Amino acid sequence: MRLEQLHIENLRNIATLDVALAPGINVFVGPNGAGKSSILEAAYLLSHAQSFRLGTTHDLIRRGEKRLAVAATARCGERARRIALIRDDSSWHGRIDQTVTTNLGAVLGETAVVCFEPGSHELIAGSGRERRRFLDWGVFHVEHAYLATAARYRRSLRQRNMALKNGAADGELDAWDVELASAAAPMDLHRQQYFSRFRDRLAELAGQFLPELGEVNLAWDRGWPSDASLLDLLAQRRSLDRIRGHTSRGPHRADWLLRFEQAPQRGQLSRGQEKLCALACVLAQARVHADASGGWPVIALDDLGSELDLEHQARVLDWLRRDADQVLISGVDIPEPLRAEPDAITLFHVEHGSLRGLL
């Protein structure tokens, strides 16, 4: 898939901006603070309803304004739909073509955008929360029903945690244990099926980007022991959960672990290696999406020149030119490997939240 006619209103330093995105590689260059990353961020919002950058959702809205809007035409082959997301102080609202909808999942399901950016190393070095969120987005775009499955589990988890904090009787907790375990089963199955695809693709890419680290191994931790019944475990740990006031086992504790033959512990990776691992994860997720849907997601690379050395820039750009449908790249200058082929890219110059010329 690819995005056409990206429209942005009141996103960070951008007042109003319309960008005619092209197939292939789109490069946005300009000084720091010009708004290059915000253009990539707008595309990402259409697919995630959250930013890839740190900060609250309120920080996205341009200072002095009360709402932001992003919209684009999402094209998959001959099919094209106009997608829009509007954010006010309290919530997101969506529109598909001319129909307003409160079903945010339906809007997000129309576009797929993955991103490698300066904070992506947290996918490797950070908490399990980042890895769960990353994996869940991929599961949702392969199996849209997963959104309702995950929402059911989260509701059950909130109710059980509330019952624990309020000192509910065992009979009430018995009922919530049954519901939580029932909701967890399909959620875990979807995740495991997706992870098996992701693991195979990531092993291929990690071997290309980090051959010096040897064979890679990925392990899935579903959030409770693989040989245990979650329902039994919830009953066994109830006293401890009462003391802590929250549920200690379940899909909300899931994680996936990445180890290399020459770096069996995460802490043994350099920052540069963490970035390359994260890049391999993003591209593996894009490949799994393409395998499942028949179309590539949009691939965004924020500040590529400062995140990767020249050798790895060339390697990833060769990979993208061969396979991806649409790529969005930001930087203070054109990435070195692309300078010899100016006709192979669509170039935008960004200044003060606006575009100056299309080369």
- 284-327 tens-digit pLDDT: 999 999 999 989 999 999 999 888 999 999 999 999 998 899 99
CATH architecture of the region 1-112+297-359: 3-Layer(aba) Sandwich (3.40)
Q: What is the pLDDT of residue 359?
A: 44
Question: How many percent of the chain have pLDDT more than 90?
Answer: 80
Closest CA to 3 of 94, 83, 49, 72: 72
- Greater model confidence, 266 or 255: 255
Q: Which residue has the tokens 């967890």?
A: 184
**Residue 130, CB half-sphere, CA atoms under 13 Å: how many?**
16
This prediction's pTM = 0.94
Q: Which residue has the tokens 């929250």?
A: 246
How far is residue 20 CA from its own chain's centroid?
24
Closest CA to 40 of 329, 338, 334: 329
Q: How confident is the model at residue 88 (pLDDT cuts 50, 70, 90)?
A: confident
Q: What is the pLDDT of residue 78?
A: 86
Bridge partners (DSSP) listed for residue 338: none
Q: How confident is the model at residue 58 (pLDDT cuts 50, 70, 90)?
A: confident
**Cβ contact 295:76 at 8 Å:** yes
Mean pLDDT for the chain overall: 93
Q: What is the pLDDT of residue 47?
A: 95
- 131-189 tens-digit pLDDT: 999 999 999 999 988 999 999 999 999 999 999 999 999 999 999 999 999 999 999 99
Report the alpha-carbon distance of residue 88 to residue 317 in Å, rounded.
37
